[in-house]
Amino acid sequence: MSSQVSLLLNPAFRVAPVRRRTFGAFVEHLGRCVYSGIFEPGHPSADEDGFRTDVLALTRELGVSSVRYPGGNFVSGYKWEDGVGPVEDRPARHDLAWHSTDPNTVGLDEFMTWAKKAEVEPMYAVNLGTRGIEEALDVLQYANSPQGIALSDQRAANGSPEPHGIRMWCLGNEMDGPWQAGHKTAHEYARIATEAARLMRQEDPDLELIACGSSSSSMETFGEWENVVLTEAYDHVDMISAHAYYSEKDGDQASFLASADDMDHFIESVVATADHVRAKLKKDKRIMISFDEWNIWYQHRAESRPPSGDDWPVAPVLLEDTYSAMDAVVFGNLLISLLRHSDRVASASLAQLVNVIAPIMTAPGGASWKQTTFHPFALTSAHARGEVLDVRLDAPSFENTRFGTSSAADAVATWDEESGDLAVFVVNRGNQDALDLDADLSAFGDLELVEALTLHHEDPYAANTESAPETVVPQANDTIRLDGGRLVGSLPEISWSIVRLTRTSA
């Protein structure tokens, strides 16, 4: 059986320019993300600095624009000074967040070396949990100040004479969460974040500063937390963070497939609160959103349980979810949601990059491979260009426990007027029927079809593994074609597709 999804696209339906920072990622000192992930001296592919060049190549292929570092829950107990200077002098420390030991072999300077090789912009998080304003100023001066003061001279002595020039700074991490070291009330956090931001701007007025928002829209304090924090910090910050993770629970496929409905609601609720504060304070500027943690994460699985007791291992196997075809479809839909809100989502970070709930997996001393989620991210990053377009959509609906009724399809498009390139990203979220695609593109003039790819597998739980890394990959969708000014074809159930078109030359 099949039903129809109708799309209406028009170059005038502009949301905002595509933001490259939408395609950020996250590297935390958690599990094997750093050690045996991005960094593994002695690996056959390791470069002179110990970084895995196979992972660097995959990071560039993934199209990552920025990387948030070093946490995450990890940062709220982190002493940045432990990770700089001669490696042989660095202390090993217990990480209470993940019950692990961090040898501090990789720190700020090593991360910046890696970021340059990976061709990504750094986003650095400061510890406002167990530390505070002094630590924020110290690490800023170490990272960004020209030589001539103690901390910048220390950086130069450690091998980095030029300032690192980090522009984006997170003022702590998930400070509303009772699980967080140094957890604070909204008023407590608002004060320390405001003072840290004010003093950091005195050191460097051109920083982009991100206040902690709610760790989840399900937090009891959601909404009120943002209200309190922004009422205090409005003049001193540029963005407020949002974090969200999704997974299939208790076999409820339908609700999981509709997960982007929750992301839409989350973003729109934060925007409403931020704009309420803007009106209340009579301000001109708008606070933007940094959706700096998002992904599929099966938190109930054994992989997400940290070690315990006397076991404090270095780089344990943690949060190493294996992603299915269905996970990749939901993941691609979350990217559609982020793009759709480009007018207010100024930055986003996929959590995380390697091994830990990640699109890239590695075997210690061995191979690296792409998870199913690698593909929608890489293709969207590569081809979303120009302006994000609001796609008018008409599709059948399906019932689900969490949201009641959801559209069986979702879509967004980008249009680069200069090059004439149009990209349409569309998901069939239904788990029963294919959808007949009928998209009205007549407003764009004469177009030609460049490529149509669909990620789908007959078994929605099929996954990529080290031994079978191409089980689930995008395939050419030969049903999709242009018929006059209309794009037609078939979208199988539980599928994510990209259709690329371009303006025909005169």
By annotation, the residues acting in catalysis are: 174, 293
Distances (CA, A) of 4 to 373, 413, 437: 26, 19, 6
Tokens 């924020």: give the residue: 136
Burial 158-186 (b: 16+ CB within 10 A, else e): eebeebbebebbbbbbbbbbeebbbebeb
Distances (CA, A) of 187 to 192, 314, 350: 9, 36, 29
The packing angle between helices 108-118 and 133-144, to 10°, is 50
DSSP 32-80: TSTBTTTB-TTSTTB-TTSBBHHHHHHHHHHT--EEEES-SGGGGG--G
Partnered with residue 94 across adjacent β-strands are: 101
Measured between alpha carbons, how far is 382 from 297 in angstroms, rounded to an integer?
24
The two three-digit tokens of residue 97, written as one number: 């967040």
Measured between alpha carbons, how far is 45 from 37 in angstroms, rounded to an integer?
12
Measured between alpha carbons, how far is 421 from 387 in angstroms, rounded to an integer?
11
Query: What's the start-to-end Cα distance of the chain, in Å?
Result: 41
Measured between alpha carbons, how far is 425 from 165 in angstroms, rounded to an integer?
35
Backbone angles phi, psi at 284, to 5 degrees: -90, -40
Judge contact between 5 and 491, C-beta under 8 A.
yes
Give the β-pairing of 387-389 and 475-476: unpaired
Partnered with residue 438 across adjacent β-strands are: 6, 488
The two three-digit tokens of residue 399, written as one number: 């019932």
Measured between alpha carbons, how far is 372 from 20 in angstroms, rounded to an integer?
22
Measured between alpha carbons, how far is 164 from 111 in angstroms, rounded to an integer?
11
Distances (CA, A) of 218 to 215, 265, 338: 8, 11, 19
Backbone angles phi, psi at 61, to 5 degrees: -65, -35
Judge contact between 378 and 64, C-beta under 8 A.
no
Measured between alpha carbons, how far is 13 from 437 in angstroms, rounded to an integer?
20
What DSSP state is assigned to residue 357?
S
Closest CA to 289 of 202, 170, 182, 175: 170
